[in-house]
Amino acid sequence: MAEPKIAQKRPYVVAEPIGNKWWCACGQSQTQPYCDGSHKRLNTGIVPVRLEIKEAKTVAWCGCKHSKNKPFCDGSHVGLPDPSKT
C-alpha cells in the first residue's frame, strides 16, 4: 500500500452535524479532511474511512493521515516531517 500524503501537521477541528462523513485517508483530496475521490483518480490504493456522526459534535480529524486512531488525530503529526519542506 502507498504511503499517504501529509495534508497538514495538525488536526482539522470541525463542528460536525449529524450524518455520514468520508474522511480522506490518502491526503490527496482538495476538500480536506473529506474525501473528494482523488484516491481513485490518482490510483493511490488508499481508501477513505466512513464515519457516521450520530450527534452533533466537534471532531479533530487527523490531518497528517498517520494517526493510529484513524480518522481522529492522536498526535502522530508531531514526529512527522513538515510537508511544506518536502
pLDDT tens sequence for the chain (86 residues): 589 999 999 999 999 999 999 999 999 999 999 999 999 999 999 999 999 999 999 999 999 999 999 999 999 999 887 766 65
pTM: 0.90
54 three-state secondary structure: coil
- CB-CB contact of 65 with 5 (8 Å): yes
pLDDT for the residue 77 = 94
Gap between the Cα atoms of 40 and 17, Å rounded: 27
